[in-house]
Structures are given as structure tokens and as C-alpha cells.
């Protein structure tokens, strides 16, 4: 199974950083980088406020780790796209792999 983990993904946390004008800018800070298997990848058209858009849904499988805590407050960067995490599942409750379901709007 480890040989199928061929895609490098980055978990990022969202933080606010002050800018020179005294305001705040939202930025992404790297939280965890790992190898992942792309389990599924689907594109579907949706109509949002009268405009067509593509919803890019993807599910990743990563190795289980106790060193980090994953929540849907994190986002994943993969191939220059940012994905919001919908769910994180301990696959078959065996503490070997996580299945992470994500989506983004293009």
C-alpha cells in the first residue's frame, strides 16, 4: 500500500498576519507535509448565483500518524490548488490510514 502514496500534499493552517497598513492579511502556514494516494477525483458543474463553476472533489489516503491532529479547519494544497477538508476518516478504524475528503471551487 505504501507504494501507492505517490502524491505530495501539504496541510496548511489559516492565520492572520498584520500588514504594513495596520490591517490583517489571511495567509496559509504549512502544518504537515506527507505522501498521499489519490483515491478518487471528480469534477461536477454547479450553478452558484447564476454562474457556472466547477466543484473539484478529491479524496486522499495518507498514513496514520499520532504526531499531528487533523481537523477541517486545515486546508490541503495539492498541485497549486487549495482544497477545503470535508471529512477525515480513520479507515476501517485500524489506525493505519486516514481517508480525507476535500473539495474546492475553481
- CA 80 → CA 24, 55, 61, distances in Å? 23, 16, 19
Determine the pLDDT at residue 22: 81
Determine the pLDDT at residue 23: 85
Say what the pTM is: 0.81
User: Looking at the DSSP assignment, which residues form a beta bridge with residue 78?
Assistant: 81
pLDDT digits 0-9 by tens, 22-49: 888 889 999 999 999 999 877 665 555 5
In whole angstroms, what is the distance from residue 93 CA to residue 97 CA? 9
User: Looking at the DSSP assignment, which residues form a beta bridge with residue 71?
Assistant: none
pLDDT digits 0-9 by tens, 44-102: 655 555 555 557 889 999 999 999 999 999 999 999 999 999 999 999 899 999 999 99
Amino acid at each position: 500500500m505504501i507504494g501507492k502514496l505517490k502524491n505530495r500534499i501539504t496541510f496548511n493552517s489559516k492565520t492572520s498576519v498584520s500588514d504594513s497598513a495596520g490591517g490583517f492579511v489571511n495567509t496559509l502556514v504549512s502544518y504537515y507535509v506527507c505522501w498521499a494516494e489519490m483515491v478518487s477525483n471528480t469534477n461536477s458543474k454547479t450553478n452558484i448565483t447564476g454562474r457556472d463553476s466547477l466543484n473539484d472533489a478529491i479524496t486522499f489516503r495518507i498514513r496514520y500518524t499520532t504526531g499531528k491532529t487533523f481537523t477541517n479547519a486545515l486546508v490541503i494544497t495539492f498541485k497549486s490548488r487549495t482544497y477545503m477538508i470535508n471529512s477525515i476518516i480513520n479507515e476501517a478504524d485500524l489506525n493505519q490510514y486516514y481517508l480525507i475528503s476535500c473539495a474546492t471551487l475553481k
